[in-house]
């Protein structure tokens, strides 16, 4: 069976790396369109100035609105043309990076995450949202980012909530890749590597082993990394979690495949009361729902559940705003998840909306079941 692999061309992580950003920009030319919110750019203004001077390059600021919509992509594409920029630099959180991917369409793209809240930076896909915040679609570009650059000194100063949310996203990688590998392989990777998205693929050994390492690292270093982040200290555990949240989880999901946890998360964007919560926070709870669907043993669930509690990830309805959702809203989201079928189709079993809602409620009950034991 066909095996496919996608990844960025270069990945760089470490203290002070932002001051070497100009080295990568210069590979393409003298000017780069800089896509990031005003606040994110101000946070690293001194490093941007230093690297621009050192490598004699120029950053053209885009005044990014902060929303990842197709209208904004068109505005920034026009700007690349008018200002004659030779590469795109996306700097900041998920939306700025997704926007940069949309503008670059895979060409000469440098991504600089300033938080480690998701595994999106290394992937060639973007999530587009409608103006009202609901998910529009996943778009797959022809190429992965050229360079992904993380400055640990910058990320360690970001709010710890982002790092913890990134661990939620990274925890799901192994389990979603596992489901995908026992069904038929990643729809995502297949879409990137062929016109026929139904073409059967199987996960590479590389993807399986990366997804497994991702889980092991998060469980081993997660708590210590959180403490290091609170103290603004770049430690070995912190660096390991940066790599797990970004590189391991990114390669793991793109090549290993997404499954129920991400499908349920996408459906949750239809429920207003879950809006204030971060992607990785919602994914953590959705992973518990996936465990229920898989009928995983309580002993296995316990390991992840108590790690989530200890590190501060949501483990029940109230912690992701679902306690305010009506049953009608749950069913509406469940029907949308089953209808869309991507990435739910990567699960090894068929799931109906009613089964999804009952698994959702059962996952909420795990709290009572496990903490009263």
Provide the annotated active-site residues. Answer: 169, 262, 265, 279
x/- map, 151-190, Zn ion, by CB under 5 A: ------------------x---------------------
CB of 319 vs Zn ion, minimal distance in Å: 18
> For residues 40 and 169, which CB has a smaller minimum distance to Zn ion in the complex?
169
* DSSP string for 139-177: EE-SS--SEEEEEHHHHTTS-HHHHHHHHHHHHHHHHHH
Question: Residue 248 Cβ, how far from Zn ion at the closest point, in Å?
Answer: 13
Residue 364 makes contact with Zn ion by CB under 5 A: no
Quick check: 266 binds Zn ion (CB under 5 A)?
A: no
Nearer to Zn ion, 208 or 279 (CB): 279
How far, CA to CA in Å, does 183 sit from each of 179, 346, 348? Answer: 6, 6, 5
Question: By three-state DSSP, how is residue 59 classified?
Answer: strand
Q: How far is the CB of 350 from Zn ion (least distance, A)?
A: 23
Residue 98 interacts with Zn ion (CB under 5 A): yes or no: no
CB of 171 to Zn ion, least distance (A): 10
Which residue is at the shortest CB distance from Zn ion?
169
Given the complex with Zn ion, which of 17 and 169 has the nearer CB atom?
169
Q: Which is nearer to Zn ion, 11 or 59 (CB)?
A: 11
How many Cα neighbours within 13 Å face the side chain of 290? 33
> If binding is defined by CB under 5 A, does position 239 make contact with Zn ion?
no
* Cβ atoms of 120 and 97 closer than 8 Å: yes
Name the helix (H) or strand (E) containing 212: helix 205-230
CA 116/CA 166 separation, integer angstroms: 6
Regarding 281 and contact with Zn ion (CB under 5 A), the answer is no
Considering the complex, state which of residue 51 and residue 249 has its C-beta at the smaller distance from Zn ion: 249
Residue 165's contacts (CB-CB under 8 Å, 6 or more residues apart) are: 117, 118, 278, 279, 280, 281, 313
Distance, in Å, from the CA atom of 159 to the CA atom of 93, rounded to the nearest integer, reads 12
Does 254 bind Zn ion (CB under 5 A)? Our answer is: no
Give the Å distances, CA to CA, from 79 to 72, 74, 113, 147, 198. 11, 9, 22, 21, 36
Q: How many residues bind Zn ion (CB under 5 A)?
A: 1
Least Cβ distance, residue 38 to Zn ion (angstroms) = 26
Residues that bind Zn ion (CB under 5 A): 169
């Amino acid at each position: 069976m066909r095996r496919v692999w996608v990844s960025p061309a270069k990945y760089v992580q470490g203290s002070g790396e932002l001051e070497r950003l100009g080295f990568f920009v210069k590979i393409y030319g003298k000017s780069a369109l800089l896509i990031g919110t005003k606040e994110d750019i101000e946070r690293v203004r001194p490093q941007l100035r230093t690297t621009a001077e050192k490598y004699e390059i120029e950053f053209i600021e885009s005044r990014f609105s902060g929303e990842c919509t197709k209208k904004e992509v068109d505005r920034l594409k026009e700007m690349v043309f008018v200002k004659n920029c030779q590469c795109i630099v996306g700097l900041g959180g998920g939306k700025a990076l997704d926007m940069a991917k949309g503008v670059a369409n895979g060409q000469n793209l440098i991504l600089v995450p300033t938080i480690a809240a998701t595994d999106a930076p290394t992937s060639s896909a973007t999530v587009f949202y409608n103006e009202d915040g609901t998910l529009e679609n996943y778009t797959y570009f022809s190429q992965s980012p050229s360079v992904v650059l993380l400055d640990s000194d910058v990320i360690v100063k970001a709010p710890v909530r982002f790092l913890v949310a990134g661990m939620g996203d990274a925890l799901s990688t192994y389990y979603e890749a596992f489901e995908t590998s026992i069904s038929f392989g990643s729809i995502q990777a297949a879409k990137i590597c062929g016109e026929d998205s139904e073409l059967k693929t199987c996960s590479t050994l590389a993807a399986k082993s990366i997804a497994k390492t991702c889980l092991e690292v998060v469980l081993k270093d997660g708590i210590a990394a959180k403490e290091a982040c609170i103290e603004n200290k770049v430690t070995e555990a912190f660096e390991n979690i940066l790599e797990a949240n970004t590189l391991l989880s990114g390669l793991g999901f793109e090549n290993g495949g997404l499954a129920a946890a991400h499908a349920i998360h996408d459906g949750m964007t239809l429920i207003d009361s879950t809006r204030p919560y971060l992607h990785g926070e919602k994914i953590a709870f959705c992973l518990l729902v996936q465990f229920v669907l898989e009928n995983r043993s309580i002993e296995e669930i316990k390991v992840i559940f108590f790690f989530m509690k200890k590190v501060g990830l949501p483990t029940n309805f109230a912690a992701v705003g679902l306690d305010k959702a009506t049953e009608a809203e749950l069913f509406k989201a469940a029907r949308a998840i089953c209808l869309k079928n991507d990435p739910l189709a990567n699960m090894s079993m068929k799931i109906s909306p009613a089964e999804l809602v009952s698994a959702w409620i059962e996952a909420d009950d795990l709290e009572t079941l496990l903490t009263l034991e």
